Chains A and B, each alone.
Chain A
């Protein structure tokens, strides 16, 4: 019995060797009875209120008889490897949750379907979409829910430190951060997570300062770091805070989640953080008295500021045999009411520009955040860049060396520029 089985495996393997691994066989996802079963892989389900995503899927199934949706949840930190491996083995789910920073790499691998083509085939009106992530003239990802990153302020700490107004400029911010740090104990003015395993801090907590004052790290779509005064100013500004001890200790391996914990426990005066955290903060520390505000700008800047964001994006797998049905699910999630419902649950700003999530009017903090959101340019220059995570990481490493006093700001920028250029050329 076993011998037969093993012989079978041996034969199969010989065949496999001949095809050098990449078997093009897509996972069949059609089930009995002519029904189509779509797999929807994402990391959102565990982050949403229990059952809320499933409820939306049930609604979709009801509206689209003959299509079933299977939700597949994976840990966020591993989503990227899973997509790459899944695309290589042809087992990628039909519909996938995406982060803007991954798009360029997946497009290069050929793992994503061209959404422009799918939209055309479905006669889809894309004017309702707040944003689309495009590359080479086509759309590959649609942001479903956007999490903007304003500045969170612990009002009690600022008051205690004698700071009466929420800082609006970098100078005010520096003064406030130093004053809060001077309170002693283990309280600090600001937290800057620079962990290199997930180098998102570069996007959310460092480059955000550049964008907030109208600066850019790109010129004509190419890296622009060497000689970029806007970026250099931010480097010098953070170094001054770092040297003054106004930043929470442990920056070099701090993760976004650690930053949130520090803020929740009232040990840091100001952080740049996702709006998605408002509810968590309230749930976990009801005594925390906080507000949100725009990221302070460089002194004298009066133009429109940029506000960083991260998205839950959505795309369709190139290996899906049900792309038309998959796109139905995409358009369902992007439709006004459904999008509003999803974003209300996620505490995110909608990807459909006509959708209005319920929390915007009912909650003062969100109301304020929505005002900031509308008054700013939503900016994330890393979206769509090649090997975006690697860009953040190489910048992060040079930035850390600069903070540690091992190199000057100019050298750090020149070194990062060199690595970015190489990544763009590759």
Chain B
């Protein structure tokens, strides 16, 4: 508010001298300006996102939606069903593991690669070559990533071949089919396919840190680690927060990758909220319950979004 007032003062507006009524009109019109800019977004999101979401919320309170012509209102029954189901909680804990490990690993690998690619020790052409190679996992549709990794991680696949012929393991490992390794395997695949998003963004961020910050730190006798911790990380923090939020939301929804590699098995060890919801909707045809699961995920994300917005304001 204060900023806008300042802005108004700065403008050599002839209206300032005229009578108060017209002045107020102008202020109103000016207040409408941001909404003008926002109108396409608001209209699009309202119609195409908010309406379906409201319908999903409606479904979550009803029984037999979609499958029957006359669904009945059942209140919060579906929410109670879900929150008291063991499968939901194990799916939630798998999702939490999958998401947190993925996001952290994306960040670490993305940052590591970005730092390596940003090193002054390398020539521009070398960097360009490696940059292109490193961005490769980003270019494929999820279905093909799933199929490719199923091939690679097959008991008779390439990974086991390499491990057994080099003597690292004695027997073939059932990466995706053993309850002990499956969750790690799908998380690994997701890490592989997602780090370039961070890498490119952080690389961009690194270009933006003024060189004199580092020179000043060097003068103060800061070593490489201290420079990293005191300059690089704080400077990159705003990007990291935005990306981590987006990635968090996207990863909790990762469906196709899980579905096409393990289908939530073996023994439910890779069951995620997304696969759990899918099964409710399209094999049990309980769209009401599935919608309730979706609303729960939405609520959690809204809490996250709230903190994100607060963090952003603090930054401003």
Contact = CB atoms under 8 A, between A and B. Distances in A.
In the complex they form, do A and B come into direct contact, defined as C-beta atoms under 8 angstroms apart?
Answer: yes
A389 B176 CA distance: 22
Given A252-B177, A253-B176, A400 B263 contact: no
Contact of A84 (B66, B156, B265): B66
A195 B285 contact: no
Nearest to A105: B285
A196 B67 contact: no
Given A6-B43, A84-B66, A401-B267, A21 B55 contact: yes
Interface string B160-176: 00000000000010101
A249 B177 contact: yes
Interface in B236-280: 259-268, 279
Given A6-B43, A252-B178, A186 B156 contact: yes
Given A252-B267, A390-B283, A17 B177 contact: no
Given A84-B285, A249-B177, A253-B177, A16 B266 contact: no
A387 interface: yes
Nearest to A17: B51
A404 B179 CA distance: 9
B285 A109 contact: yes
A218 interface: no
A195 B154 contact: no
Contacts of B69: 110
A315 B9 CA distance: 72
B47 interface: yes
A374 interface: no
Contacts of B259: 197
A423 B182 CA distance: 28
Nearest to A24: B69
Given A10-B47, A17-B51, A250 B268 contact: no
B156 A253 contact: no
Contact of B263 (A2, A108, A195, A423): A195
A198 B66 CA distance: 23
Contact of B267 (A17, A198, A404): A404
A389 B43 CA distance: 40
B284 interface: yes
B155 interface: yes
Q: Give the size category of B's interface with A.
A: 35 or more
B144 to A, nearest CB: 13
Given A6-B43, A105-B285, A252 B55 contact: no
Contacts of B265: 194-197, 252-253, 396-397, 400
A197 B264 contact: yes
A207 interface: no
A100 to B, nearest CB: 15
Interface in A234-269: 248-254, 258, 262, 267
B282 interface: yes
Contacts of B267: 252, 397, 400-401, 404, 406
B205 interface: no
A109 B263 contact: no
B283 A389 contact: yes
B137 interface: no
B244 to A, nearest CB: 30
A80 interface: yes
B268 A390 contact: no
A250 B47 contact: no
A406 B179 CA distance: 11
A371 B150 CA distance: 37
Contacts of B268: 397
B279 A390 contact: yes
Interface string B201-235: 00000000000000000000000000000000000
Interface in A361-399: 387, 389-390, 393, 396-397
Contact of B43 (A9, A194, A253): A9
Contacts of B39: 6
Given A2-B40, A406-B267, 19 more contacts: A6-B43, A9-B47, A10-B47, A108-B285, A109-B67, A195-B262, A197-B263, A197-B265, A250-B155, A250-B176, A252-B177, A252-B179, A252-B265, A253-B182, A253-B263, A258-B154, A387-B284, A390-B284, A423-B284
27 contacts: A6-B39, A6-B40, A9-B47, A10-B43, A13-B46, A13-B51, A17-B51, A20-B58, A81-B282, A186-B155, A196-B263, A196-B266, A197-B259, A197-B264, A249-B174, A250-B154, A251-B177, A252-B178, A253-B262, A253-B263, A253-B266, A262-B156, A387-B283, A387-B284, A389-B283, A390-B283, A393-B283
Interface of B: 39-40, 43, 46-47, 51, 54-55, 58, 66-69, 150, 154-156, 172, 174, 176-179, 182, 259-268, 279, 282-285
